[in-house]
Chain A
Amino acid sequence: MREITIPIDDEVIRSLHVGDSVALTGIMVTARDAAHKWMVETFIKKTRPPQGEDEQVYEALKKLLNGGVIYHCGPVVSKDENGEYHFLAAGPTTSIREEPYQADVMKHFNVKGVIGKGGMGAKTLQGCRETPGVYFHAVGGAATFLAQTVEKVHGVYKLEFGVPEALWVIEVKEFPAVVTMDAHGQSQHAIVDAASRQVLEELLNKPY
């Protein structure tokens, strides 16, 4: 298990390889479907004009994401009597839905790590090379367990997207994950996909 502190520099990113177990400590931002679409349309492709507090949120995100980590997560959150938020359940969501956006977001904000589950495709793998960055795989469904690593919820942006889709700024300690896509063009997901496709071919050719 390798300890990694956020923000992460390029040297550390390049030293990571598929299969490495890591424990992440520092501040990360949750972002999933609505957030990725919004970031790309508003700030990268600029097909939609900024509205409301978008510009202020953008300035904050630029700082948080530079060398930072995005977590594909839609948490279960409680609010205590002092108005403070707590993460009760916070496992990863399926990452492939962000495939159209992820590489652009990584490059635009200099995002060093993306945490999710299920892996991502060729475009993101190329984004990992260019940024450079890595994809960290967390255990899907292990929501209570992973929420234990969230020490503090610093704040939330775009809560109007709904609790699961908002951008939550969280401080984690020793968040466990495995590198499954690295900055050297390797993807565990591509390997497993190809190997399983070959087994499938063999099984399809077997008589019933």
Chain B
Amino acid sequence: MERAMRDLTNEIIELIRRTSTRLPADVEERLRAAIEKEAPGSAARNALETILKNIELSRQKSTPICQDTGTPIFYVHYPEGWSTRALREQIRNAMAEATKRSYMRPNAVDAIYDRNTGNNLGGDDFPYIHFEEVDADQPLVIELMLKGGGCENVGRQYSLPDNELGADRDLAGVRKVVLDAVQKAQGQGCAPGILGVAIGGDRSSSYLKSKEVLFEKIGVRNPDPELAKLEERLTEEANQLGIGPMGFGGQTTVLDTKIVGLSRLPASYFVTVSYMCWAYRRRKMIVRGDQVEYE
């Protein structure tokens, strides 16, 4: 029980700093590989080159990759016996301090009174914190994703069948609506993007899971071979749309697609697409006893 009292506020500030200022290596690799697909001198290629310079500079200077430091989404896997109330308080204190240190932009705006709280602390839902209990002998793992508003705004949810798109309640229909979502997003979600797709659920669980699946690394495929095939096909076909980096036109519109299947009601068949911008910021910290590791 004693370790449950350990104060991790400073370690969580470091998690926030790393997440905001250092893009994960798997994302940077994909962006680097995408450059070669764009024509020399094209706006698309220049945009990707600027993106890579920015990633490097942000890392060096320890400043946010994107000024929109987004919705902070924490997933906390805590060993049995830890206090979630204490962890929540530490996360909130860390968030306020990280904002003071300019790792985060003050992003929590009261929607009714239109006031920015100035410290990234809104109600219970901001920052968003999800707790999941694990066995007492397991490490504490805190994952953080920062999802910007531009890409959040282009997310979409479809209720199938969709007559306009000719999308039935099957994977063929799923494919159609996901491609429609990418076309409608154009460059506004800061393409090239990463797609999190949830099939099923209710309106809220479907959105939630379409984001949760984005905690996985690029290239991790759904264990179901048919869904894995659809993930790859969607990435390839989305790139045929020619929207390109920033919507300038080009070969690289989507870097990866991740699908998660959920339970649904007989009456409902939701397909939810969460669009993640190229500034795909996600990191985790693992706490084993006194040791804290960052990934």
Please give the residue numbers on chain A whose beta carbons come within 8 Å of chain B beta carbons, in ascending order. Answer: 19, 21, 34, 73-78, 88-91, 93-94, 96, 117-119, 137, 139-148, 161-165, 176, 178, 180, 188-189, 191-193, 195-197, 199-200, 203-204, 208
Within 8 A of A (CB), among B61-88: 61, 63-69
Q: Which residues in B have their C-beta under 8 angstroms from that of A118?
A: 150, 186-188, 246-247
CA–CA, A144 to B139, complex, Å?
34
- Chain B interfacial positions (CB closer than 8 Å to A): 43, 46-47, 50-51, 53-54, 57-58, 61, 63-69, 102, 104-107, 109, 114-116, 118, 148-150, 153, 165-166, 170-172, 175-176, 179-180, 183, 186-188, 190, 237, 240-244, 246-249, 277-279
Given A188-B249, A192-B247, A199-B241, A139:B47 Cβ within 8 A: yes
Pull 20 A–B residue pairs with CB atoms less than 8 Å apart, ordered by A: A88-B102, A94-B188, A117-B187, A118-B187, A119-B187, A139-B51, A139-B246, A140-B66, A141-B65, A143-B68, A144-B63, A145-B53, A146-B54, A147-B63, A162-B106, A163-B105, A178-B46, A188-B248, A195-B249, A199-B241
B116 A196 Cβ-Cβ under 8 A: no
Question: Smallest CB-CB separation from A94: which chain B residue?
Answer: B150
Which residue of A119, A162, A176 contacts B50 across the interface (Cβ within 8 Å)?
A: A176
- A89 and B67 within 8 A (CB): yes
Query: Which of B68, B188, B243, B279: most chain A Cβ within 10 A?
Result: B68
Q: Is the CB of B247 within 8 A of A89?
A: no
A144 touches B246 (CB 8 A): no
Q: Which of B46, B176, B190 contacts A117 (CB 8 A)?
A: B190
Q: Given A19-B43, A196-B183, A196-B241, does the pair A74, B68 have CB atoms closer than 8 Å?
A: yes
Chain A nearest CB: distance from B85 CB in Å?
Answer: 29
Q: Given A137-B248, A193-B186: A199 and B63 within 8 A (CB)?
A: no
Contact status B53-A88, CB under 8 Å? no
- Is there an interface contact between B249 and A143, defined as CB atoms closer than 8 Å? no
Known: A89-B64, A143-B64, A164-B116. A199 touches B240 (CB 8 A): yes
Contact residues in B for A119 (Cβ distance below 8 Å): 186-188, 247
